[in-house]
Structure 1
Amino acid sequence: MGTLQSGDRSQFPDPVFRETVLKPLFDGARHHHAEALRRIDFAHLVMLVETGILDPAQGGALARALGAMEREIDPATLVYGGDVEDYFFHMEKELKRRVGADIGGRLHTARSRNDIDHTFLKLGLLPRIDGLLAALRGLLGALIEAATRDRDTLIVAYTHGQPAQPTTYGHYIAAMIEVLIRDIQRIEAARSIVDLCPLGAAAITTTGFQTDRHRVAELLGFAAPLQNSYSCIAAVDYLTATYDALALLFLHLGRPVQDFLFWSSFEVGQLYLPNAFVQISSIMPQKRNPVPFEHLRHLSGQTVGRARAVVDLLHNTPFTDMTDSEAETHEMGYQAFDVGLRVLALLTATIEAARIDSERVAVNLDRSCATITELADRLVREEGLPFRLAHEIAADVARAVVAASGTLRQDGYPTFVAAFERHVGRRPAADQMAFADMVSPEAFIAVRDRFGGPAPAALDAALAGYRLALGEFDRRAREAAQRRTDASDMLRRRVEEIARV
């Protein structure tokens, strides 16, 4: 296709404007928003009849025509011809053709494309949020199962890329769970803004007709109407709140994914992925490449980038109705949902499949002296030493064991006795067996039974709370779905009743 040339500047639309703006918008509307526009027409019609703004005969003619259009017109087959401005006017033109301009033109009483636009955009966004929330609940359930299954499974916890302390895989996963719960709450909070209906605001200031905005919101399945009419067409915080929450969600998920990639490296080896998730090099047959983690990392990043782009597009835009916040911006945002759902599906499957290599963990814990903090703590509790002195003794032991390429439980006791005598001036009370217990990872975990710790009782209490949170998320989702189903049934029934007049 060559460069488009402008035509007669007195006739709308200019060919360049038609091909670069109007046609893409028309195609986007018929693909993404046709069903929402049909529902808006039906709900507005019911309200106009119920409030007496339209008489029963007018409402019946419109209901029958709209029903016929729904049955007979497949939006996917429509081709933009340039004779109308957009999809809305195309459907209005068809309605007028069927019932005449007098009756057809009455459907637009007390509304504007301004409030229609944000209503159908919200109706398009809500199911995407709900689909995301369903996938998040699935991931949350998988994480709770993994944390329960591996409540007592030891791992090495890292700080600054170095072995730090032992904890359990269940305790680590529980940290992921808590962040995910807060992310779901942020998505739900954004959804509550999307779930407020703008229809009835008209262009800016509502209308002089005695409309019922609450009824329209009910028929469309919204929780309530958005109150301020200027806010309905100008305050697009439903959009920024949604994509801000989406960006944070996938930014947060990308962080443990990076840990998992590190843990599955040959040198660390504490996380094992089964063969179904591993790709082999085309030239190096010994390699087990844990590529799901790489895909999860970069796809999470793509989702963050797309979500942030939506928010950034609205920076310094005017507080009014504007195209910046409308269809094409939403369509770009839908890509964030599409990629994000791929991440959630893959991450859920990977969490379910991954296992800890306990033999490698035991070796890494012992060689890294990761339990040495508890040695210092026990010297405070059992030998009555100040913590700083106990820390110096423990540090001497760790340095000596690491320098000798030994292990703490097998090789640490003689060094411990020597360091203790050097710093304290007497022999420690702990014998070889007591020392082995002091530096045992199992003992390390067992004594950390404080609130939020990895010991079984503390972690069990946390897991019980996470299950309650998942149950509440499920309950709210069921209630929202039931409200939508009831609204759809009510709207269909009322339209059929009006059509029989």
Structure 2
Amino acid sequence: MEPADPRVSDNSVFPNPVYKETVLRPLFDGAKTHHVDGFRAIDRAHLVMLAETGILPRETASRIARALIAIEREIEPAALTYTGEVEDYFFLVEAELRKRLQPDDNGRLHTGRSRNDIDHTLFKLALKPRLDKLAGQLRALIAAALTLVEREKATLIVAYTHGQPAQPSTLGHYLSAAIEVMLRDHRRLMQARELLDLCPLGAAAITTSGFPLDRHRTAHLLGFEAPLRNSYGCIAAVDYTTAVFSAIELVFLHLGRLIQDLQFWTAFEVGQIYVPNAFVQISSIMPQKRNPVPIEHLRHLASQTMSRARMVRDIVHNTPFTDMNDSEGETQDAGYQTFESGGRVLDLLAALLPALSVDSRRVAETIRRSCITVTELADTLVRQEGLSFRAAHEIAAAVARAVVAKDGDLPRDGYAPFAAAFRHAAGREPQLSREDFATAVSPENFVALRERFGGPGPTALGEALAAYRAELAAAEDAATAIAKREDAARRELDAAFNALAGAA
């Protein structure tokens, strides 16, 4: 006896209640929350193209256009509750079109397209403004950092390596290093955005269509730079997702390091950065406490953002190179939280940085206790006394040990041990006078001499700041150009669609 065909006896009805609540309802809610405008724009652009190419008679396209307008006027997506009567938001719109169109017009809007290419176009349309906003917030942070650099470009700080005082520098020079990283991160965001500007619409399910679709026209009307060429890649190569979230992950991984330094530098034992009262919370029990809590919030929010971005990227790992749900609705929806928490970090850090100031008393005391200017003594001995750097290094090390041992001050107390160490190493008296010695080991001299490309000296730092400002201005101009192009495309689409809807 042959086994029964389960398809014959299958009396189940779609959707299964559990599947409805665990998958279909969240997907529907995500679509109505994030993608309604995208659906409407795609429908309009595709319909205009169908009419312009003659795939649909203009009269038919006009009736469909008026039905789409009626749906937009009569249905408020936010008020919709998923019932399971249709599979998703796409099919809800199709069902509403059937109510308003004659049988001969039903389904004609879907000519030459699939939910596959629609979905990836939707996701790109949703990601572009989010990425543009985040990139704008990053540029605002860079501008805020530049403001602080200009104000504090000559303000001495202690630069640390391995958690220990290393050399004197300036806050401006330190922050300039962070600005360079932020500018590189911004470039990576913009490189990822280039992938978002390639339109998948017209790829249909996999291989485009037998209809003479004009993919360049729909891409233009939707504000894309161009169509994405390979139709298989349109529905399978989700590198636009991995590129966007990889770039975002790096932004907040790198900012986390800057934030961690702020946490360290504001610690009581270090105290070289002062946080004003507006950014300080008190203890509920300890009256003396000044807690710069916003820095902690920056740290954990940056980590949350980085982790959310990494999650989206990692979901694609080991998925097949084909159309698949792993990179679609639920993953994209989860990824949108990345922009929310990331935006909070960028806004808060942009407000905090210009409010910070250097506690120069604490900086001077740390410089005194650590003898971190002694590197310049070694350099000076090479230049003025003709010693090898290794011999000069050994003399400088002996001076530092002697001054630290007596908790002294290097410019004031270092000359005697210097002269003794020099005589021992060189077999002669130094030419360097006490006054020249004090100048050589001063932190101001240390910074002023370092005028090499990329250094903290005033000329070198000034050249760097001019370059940063130029790159930031160019980035702003590029963002403005993109916004103008996309705004012009929206106006063109509205005009073409409205003309179609008004056609007799």
Q: TM-score normalized by structure 1?
A: 0.97
Residue in 2 that maps onto 1:441: 443
Distance between the aligned counterparts of 1:208 and 1:113, measured in 2? 17
Residue in 1 that maps onto 2:232: 230
Deviations 1:338-384 (A, max 9, x none): 10000001110111110111121111112210100000000010001
Unaligned runs of 5+ in 2: 1-9
1:257 aligned to which of 256, 259, 265: 259
2:477 aligned to which of 471, 475, 491: 475
Letter in 2 for 1:196: L
Letter in 2 for 1:141: A
Residue 71 of structure 1 deviates from its aligned partner by 2.0
Partner of 1:103, secondary structure, is coil
Deviations 1:47-105 (A, max 9, x none): 00000011111011011111121122111001111111111001110011111343131
1:112 equivalenced with 2:111 (yes/no): no
Residue in 2 that maps onto 1:77: 79
Residue in 2 that maps onto 1:172: 174
Residue in 2 that maps onto 1:304: 306
1:381 equivalenced with 2:383 (yes/no): yes
Q: How does 1:422-433 map to 2 (within 5 A)?
A: 422-433=424-435
Distance between the aligned counterparts of 1:298 and 1:266, measured in 2? 21
Q: What's the % identity of the aligned pairs?
A: 61
Q: How does 1:179-258 map to 2 (within 5 A)?
A: 179-258=181-260
Residue 9 of structure 1 deviates from its aligned partner by 5.3
Residue in 2 that maps onto 1:95: 97
Letter in 2 for 1:270: Q
Residue 25 of structure 1 deviates from its aligned partner by 0.6
Distance between the aligned counterparts of 2:81 and 2:295, measured in 1? 43
Deviations 1:395-439 (A, max 9, x none): 011111111111111211111111111211222112211110010
Residue in 1 that maps onto 2:349: 347
Distance between the aligned counterparts of 1:457 and 1:420, measured in 2? 33
1:42 aligned to which of 31, 44, 49: 44
Aligned length: 494
Residue in 1 that maps onto 2:6: none
Distance between the aligned counterparts of 1:331 and 1:403, measured in 2? 61
Partner of 1:155, secondary structure, is strand
Residue in 1 that maps onto 2:466: 464
Q: How does 1:41-60 map to 2 (within 5 A)?
A: 41-60=43-62
Distance between the aligned counterparts of 1:235 and 1:98, measured in 2? 37
Letter in 2 for 1:292: P
Distance between the aligned counterparts of 1:114 and 1:212, measured in 2? 18
Partner of 1:81, secondary structure, is coil
Residue 172 of structure 1 deviates from its aligned partner by 0.4
Q: 1:219 to 1:167 in 2, by over 3 A?
A: same
Residue in 2 that maps onto 1:5: none
Partner of 2:169, secondary structure, is strand
2:422 aligned to which of 402, 420, 423: 420
Distance between the aligned counterparts of 1:241 and 1:154, measured in 2? 39
Distance between the aligned counterparts of 2:434 and 2:364, measured in 1? 20
Partner of 1:157, secondary structure, is strand
Partner of 1:167, secondary structure, is strand
Residue 10 of structure 1 deviates from its aligned partner by 2.4
RMSD (CA atoms): 0.9
Residue 500 of structure 1 deviates from its aligned partner by 1.2
Distance between the aligned counterparts of 1:265 and 1:25, measured in 2? 46
Residue in 2 that maps onto 1:17: 19
Distance between the aligned counterparts of 1:435 and 1:186, measured in 2? 47
Distance between the aligned counterparts of 1:409 and 1:103, measured in 2? 90
Residue in 2 that maps onto 1:455: 457
Partner of 2:289, secondary structure, is coil
